Amino acid sequence: MALAFAAGAAASIILASHVAPTSAAPANVVPAKRGYVPRRPAGSDLSAGFSALTSSAVPSAPDAVVAALRSLHPGSYTNAKDLGRGMYLATNDAVHGICGWVTEGFGQCTEPDRILGDVWLEGDMRRQYDAQTAPFEVNLYGFAHDGVTDLQVTTPSATQTIAVVNNAFRGTLKTTTFDDITAIEVVYSTGRLARLDTASLFPQHRVGHGTSATR
């Protein structure tokens, strides 16, 4: 595990290899605790279950994004797709998994043991505007397998639903820090709910005088 620092006084803990920030570093992807959604076993085909990758209705990713993905790791990027809202996903034969790119988020190739159940969750925390006293906001984004319809994110003040469209999700929680998130539940089309371990995803995080921070 490496500790890296991004622009704007942002700190990021990076667990996966082949990671590059786009304009914010990736979230901390950690093992789930017992009783929560487990990681998929090593050797799993991460491209399976992402139907957007093979859907003719989903447009291809632009060449510039494919080039950016190739800068993370060599190999053949097949089925590179534009999932909307600045989110892109592709398979990669070199890492035998998937690679994602999120504008103003992260770029990463993920190996088989780097995803929590059916959700690849990333995020960052930043000031809502450029001032040391400005309130924080948390941006959550990532990709989910077929059958996942929403993420429900709970803070002491509210529960916010982030919809999954084309296997991708993205949402912002205003006036919120990582510490405020008390629960994240994965919602399936069957009605089943699975809770992610927020204690591990967002360990106690203290922000100094910087304007942003990432996990």
User: Which whole number is the average pLDDT over 16-34?
Assistant: 36
How many residues belong to the chain?
215
Q: What tens digit of pLDDT does each residue of 41-57 get?
A: 555 666 788 999 999 99
Q: DSSP secondary-structure letter at 30?
A: -
| Distance between CA atoms of residues 153 and 155, nearest Å | 7
Q: 202: domain range?
A: 2-214
Instruction: Name which of 92, 97, 71 is nearest 80 in CA terms.
Output: 92
Q: Give the per-residue pLDDT at 72.
A: 85
- Cβ-proximal residues to 24 (8 Å cutoff; 6+ apart), any chain: 6, 10, 104, 105, 106, 124, 126, 139, 212, 214
Q: What tens digit of pLDDT does each residue of 61-76 get?
A: 999 999 999 988 888 8
Q: Give the per-residue pLDDT at 156.
A: 94
Q: What tens digit of pLDDT does each residue of 125-135 get?
A: 999 999 989 99
* Cα four-point dihedral sign 30, 14, 126, 145: negative
Mean pLDDT over the full length of the chain: 77
Overall pTM > 0.85: no
User: Which whole number is the average pLDDT over 135-156?
Assistant: 95
Who has greater pLDDT, 168 or 215?
Answer: 168
Please give the tally of structural domains in the chain: 1
User: Which whole number is the average pLDDT over 73-80?
Assistant: 87
Q: Give the per-residue pLDDT at 187.
A: 97
